Structure formats: C-alpha cells, structure tokens
Amino acid sequence: MTTHTVNPTSTEEKLVWYGLTLTYPFFAFGGLYIMGSLIGWMIFAIVLLRWFVHGKDELAVIPNIVWLWIIGGLFMFLALLVAHLNWDLGLAKTIKSSIGWAKGWALLPLFFFLGAFVDIKPKLIIRAVCILSFHTLIFAVISFILYKAGVNGDLFVSPLQVIGGPGESFFKVSFFGFNPETGIGRWRFFTPWAPAAGFMACLFLIFSCQEKDTFWKTTAILGSFLMCLLSQSRAGWAIYIALLPVCLFSKNFRNPAWLVIFGIAIPVILLYGEPVYNWLNTTYLDLKASRPNSTRVRKTLEAIAWQRWESEAPIWGHGIVEKGPKIVEAMPIGSHHSWFGLLFVKGVVGFFALVIPLIYTSIYLLWHSLKSKICYHAALMLAVIICYSFFENLEILSFILWPALLWIGISLNPLKSGEHYA
C-alpha cells in the first residue's frame, strides 16, 4: 500500500483540514451549519491580518473571473436591499436577510477568492475530503445496521437552532430518515436532506479519484458510492454514474486520441440515436415515477415562483422566500431550484449576478481543462454544481459545498493550476 503524508502547515490550512475532517463531530451536536457558514469568513479574517502584517504572497492574485464573482455577489446584496425597500419589509428583516446573504450567496465569491488568493495545497483538500468520505463509509455501515435492527433514526434537534437558520433540518441530528412515499430508510448523512447527500457524493467522487494513497482512495470512493446509493437521490444516481468514467479514467479523457474515438462514436450514435433516445426517455420516466409526489411539488413550486416573479417583482424580486400554499405542502416558493429561487427572491438582477460569472467560469475551465488537471477536475465539479442548481438551492447548501468552491477558486489562479501567463 502506498502511503503519502499530508499535514496542514499554516493557520488557513488547519482551518480547512479540521473543518473537513471534523465534519461528523460538528454534525453530532448540530453545529455543522454554523461551522460551515463561518469557516470561510474566519479564513478571510486571517488572510487580511496576514496580508497586513507580512504583505502579499507572490502567488496571491485575484483573477478577473473572481472579480466577476465578487461583483455578482455585491449585486445580489444590492437586490436584497432594494427589494426590502420596495416591499417595506422593515429593518429587522433586512438585517436578518443580510446575515442570510453572508451565510449563503456570499460564500461563493468568498471561497473562490480564498482558493485563488490563499496558499492552500490542493493535495491537502483531497486528503481531507477522502477522510470525510471514509467517515461517511463508517457512518453508513453503522447506521444501516441500526436501521435493520429497528432503531429510531432521529436523535434530537440541536439547541443551537435558536441562533437561527433556514430550518429545523439544518440542526437535526439523525442516523437516517424514511422516504415518505415508499416507507423505506433514506439517508441524509451530514446534509440537511437526502438529495443534498447525493450532491455531496458526486463531489466526493471527483476529489477521491485524485488521491494518491491507495487506502484513502479506495475507501473514499466506496464511501461516496454508499452515500449516493443510500441517499436515493435520482439526480445523484444519474450524475454519479456519468462521473465514474471521466473521473477514474481522466488521463485518457484528456488524451487527444479520444478525439478520434469520439469521431467514430458520434456517427454511430446518430445511426442508432432513436433506440438510445427511447431507452434514455424510459429510464428518465421511471426515475420520475419513483417519487411522483416529489416531482409534482417541484414542478408546482417552479410554476408559482415563475408566475409571481413575472407579475409582481421582475427586476429586484421579493427580497425573501415565502411559504408556499397547501398544494406544495407549504414548501418555500423558489426552493428546490436555484434559478427560480433567484428570480423570485432577487429578480432578474440576482439571476444575471449568478449566470454571468458562471458562464465565464465554465468557458475558462473547459478551455484550460485539457492542459491542467486542477482545471479538469474543477470543470467536473462546476458541471455537477450546475446540474444540481436545477434540483437544489445552491445558496442554502453553500455551507457544505465550500470544499468544491475552494478547489474551483484554486483552478482560476493560473499560477496555482499549473498554467503560467505573463
């Protein structure tokens, strides 16, 4: 077995390391949401102090794309303030929403900045995620045994909930839950709900496949697989399966010889396109039918968010999420979908504040992924995030997405991603 020692050296690296490897201890007392929301700002404060005392490191640059994300984040904050004024929501709600912005959308430009600016070793992030995935493997085995033994999966709701957050699920500590439509066990692990666990499993897979140590790589991939499997996330299963070949055989996919293979494969796909399409369509319909109520609620929430955004607040949005009607089981309008959520809460201003830097980042990573391993895997992570933006609200889940955001930030700095420009 190959062994590779990875140790954090700076304070920033230690915060990243312990923030990831101590995920389950934080989850055990319901403090993960608080830790995940604060860790970026803690690192940022240390960066400013270090910059003031020691000056700027030669690799510490802020790429233009990161500036785009920062500007986009500020426009989201502006949309928040204007919407609160337009709807007379009051000072108390404005302060609460501002804190929510700092714990949500602001974390995207924050971690992109930290990844590009701070000296954090990529291999340290990989190893820390692998350790977390290994802990997930242990948690999955133990909790599955308890599930089979008939133990109650829910433990308690942390008293830390009084601090405030998006909902009770962010502070609930449990081994597993149940699928309300099938009655069988469904695992959310350390995430607020099961589909988010499928989301994290896909990101864990991308990190794990880069690990050099055989033990950590094997156990981490197995942990991510069980996480995806037990989450019963339809999107997670589809994305995880699609990621397996491009992660495990990434060297081959970045080889120009694959262009020849694709050149042969594309005409074959065109010739046999109809049966392939029919099979994919049948599979998609079967996945949707596996949880029909969930699909109905999502579609209704999207329709309500679109109609109310278009007719009531097209430019700046409504400023806050609102409780939905009984037909959507009182789910917040705009939840389950980042784009409809943005339109409803922050209007077209918030929508473009995300879509513009996202497009530029996607183009940059796709272009540089052929020459840079860091950019290649960052492109995969961004692809997963984009896919899940149509099923989840990225703002709410940013407190657990930060390792991927940090990695993407590293990839946006050409001095760190292995590509040097004048």
What is the tens place of the pLDDT at every residue in 43-52? 999 999 988 8
Arithmetic mean of pLDDT, 249-278: 53
pLDDT, averaged across the chain: 86
In a domain, 404, yes or no: yes
In a domain, 343, yes or no: yes
| pLDDT of res. 361 | 96
In a domain, 319, yes or no: yes
Q: What is the pLDDT of residues 254-267, one digit of tens each?
A: 555 554 554 455 45
Distance CA(187)–CA(176), nearest Å, equals: 5
Helix/strand/coil for 113: helix
Distance CA(256)–CA(243), nearest Å, equals: 20
In a domain, 255, yes or no: yes
The pair of three-digit structure tokens given for residue 367, joined into one six-digit string: 């272009």
| pLDDT of res. 300 | 78
Contact present, 73 and 108 (Cβ < 8 Å): yes
Distance CA(390)–CA(403), nearest Å, equals: 20
The pTM score is: 0.88
Question: Of 185-189, 278-282, 291-295, where does mean pLDDT reach its minimum?
Answer: 278-282
In a domain, 420, yes or no: no
| pLDDT of res. 356 | 96
| pLDDT of res. 258 | 54
Distance CA(65)–CA(70), nearest Å, equals: 9
| pLDDT of res. 421 | 35
Question: Of 104-118, 207-221, 259-273, where does mean pLDDT reach its minimum?
Answer: 259-273
| pLDDT of res. 334 | 66
pLDDT higher than 80, residue 298: no
Distance CA(332)–CA(323), nearest Å, equals: 4
Number of domains in the chain: 1
pLDDT higher than 70, residue 324: no
In a domain, 126, yes or no: yes
Domain of residue 105: give its range: 11-411
In a domain, 418, yes or no: no
In a domain, 191, yes or no: yes
